[in-house]
Structure 1
């Protein structure tokens, strides 16, 4: 079969122009999509910096997790339960695998009900500092319990594969909240709008634990970037369509002339 006349060198410029235009449109669309995702992630983290609320005003000991409060800063007040310290495996920090160190806090005024609190991260269980004891008060980020389906292979040790209440209850004598919290290490010195100062927050000797679940952001957050991404992809499709029409029309013209 003879090669298409449109593959001759004199037509290469048209094909190259179409390819460049489609490539630019696709690239700009991906750039805007990445900007949309980055802005949403940034806002989710910013929501963790809003004014803290009292834990007891956000969730009660027997309440289900309030879905719109993921990442909500809360003021935790109570007493540490050091004998029930647990470790959560498979947690990453700066690219290294290690463990979350988690100790319950018996919340003041809640009849002994305790909240699981992630105090920080350690590379090895044996490297974790001793659990704190006594009264405590600090700001932490509220998180819903996990349910990844991982099975605790050894229920007799203090290492859990996830923060799951059914697993933790086997190690803790108190009733547990249907949530857990991560101590806000980077603001433990009281650098919050409410001005409270952390007391015995249990983070000494531990690296800060990062949040696995960030709060939801508004549907319209960075919507302009998403629309720009779609717009650029439409431009790319239009450029590809124009090229296809030109190829079709030019091919038909050359055949007619022949």
Structure 2
């Protein structure tokens, strides 16, 4: 009786090798796409920082608001309107301190300034104070289009949980603590007219506030390295598939000749 050349195990192996080849190639292409995205991000950061410093005022044009552009703003601190954002810094829990700066006395236009990070305290009574100078002040920093967000897993697919109090400033109690701060929501509860940007204050740390702001990953070489690995796996799987097909072809030829 003539023995079957291909059984279900052989077919399964061939299909698996073909699928692995396609999957590995797809993963390699995805890593190359991620590398391109990171190069674009790096270029945007470099382009923004290369622009001349922007002076922020209420007449600022939207075309001048560029991510990572250096900027300065002059105004009066509104310390009572400050908000704390829960953020980790190098693995340590703590807070970002966000305080709006009023551009002109008697007006409502303001800019949100991220002043820095400080470590978490054990009790509300131990919360440090960060006094602000009175009078008109000038602050320098880098522009962000919004307050960098912290992904909230517990809100995924669910109704967002209200975080800010109904009114800011509050008559008493500690500063509000939130996970994320939306400028439109803050404007609604504070009555301020917030400019559509955030200033991440730069300069040396002061009063214990650390100004080491997060940056998006721009290490495209890492993704390129991963892509090469995936393409190497794809080549191995494709070579194994080719060898298996050649062996089957040779066995088929041998069986045909012997019959």
| TM-score, length basis structure 2 | 0.59
Q: Does 1:84 align with 2:81?
A: yes
Task: Give me the whole-angstrom Cα distance separating, in 2, the residues matched to 1:60 and 1:86.
Answer: 26
Q: Does 1:152 align with 2:153?
A: no
Match of 1:135 in 2: 136
Q: Secondary structure at the match of 2:250?
A: helix
Task: Give me the whole-angstrom Cα distance separating, in 1, the residues matched to 2:48 and 2:106.
Answer: 25
Deviations 1:98-147 (A, max 9, x none): 21111211125994511111111122371242233322112212222358
The number of residue pairs the alignment matches comes to 211
Match of 2:197 in 1: 179
Q: Residues 82 and 133 of structure 1 are in contact (CA less than 8 Å); yes or no, is this contact kept in structure 2?
A: no
Q: Secondary structure at the match of 1:69?
A: coil
| Inter-CA distance 171–120: structure 2 relative to 1 (3 Å threshold) | farther
Match of 1:98 in 2: 94
Match of 2:249 in 1: 252
Structure 2's unaligned 5+ residue stretches are 7-20, 152-159
Map 1:159-174 → 2, pairs under 5 A: 159-161=176-178, 162-169=180-187, 172=190, 174=192
Q: Secondary structure at the match of 2:245?
A: helix
Alpha-carbon RMSD:
4.5
Structure 1's unaligned 5+ residue stretches are 5-21, 189-202
Task: Give me the whole-angstrom Cα distance separating, in 2, the residues matched to 1:2 and 1:132.
Answer: 89
Match of 1:118 in 2: 114
Q: Does 1:207 align with 2:218?
A: no
| Inter-CA distance 183–35: structure 2 relative to 1 (3 Å threshold) | same
| TM-score, length basis structure 1 | 0.60
Task: Give me the whole-angstrom Cα distance separating, in 1, the residues matched to 2:64 and 2:77.
Answer: 26
Task: Give me the whole-angstrom Cα distance separating, in 2, the residues matched to 1:74 and 1:138.
Answer: 8
Task: Give me the whole-angstrom Cα distance separating, in 1, the residues matched to 2:84 and 2:59.
Answer: 25
Task: Give me the whole-angstrom Cα distance separating, in 2, the residues matched to 1:152 and 1:44.
Answer: 32
Q: Does 1:49 align with 2:52?
A: no
Q: Secondary structure at the match of 1:185?
A: coil
Q: Residues 36 and 226 of structure 1 are in contact (CA less than 8 Å); yes or no, is this contact kept in structure 2?
A: no
| Inter-CA distance 66–73: structure 2 relative to 1 (3 Å threshold) | same
Q: Residues 36 and 225 of structure 1 are in contact (CA less than 8 Å); yes or no, is this contact kept in structure 2?
A: no
Within the candidate set 67, 70, 90, 1:70 is matched to 67
| Inter-CA distance 211–243: structure 2 relative to 1 (3 Å threshold) | closer
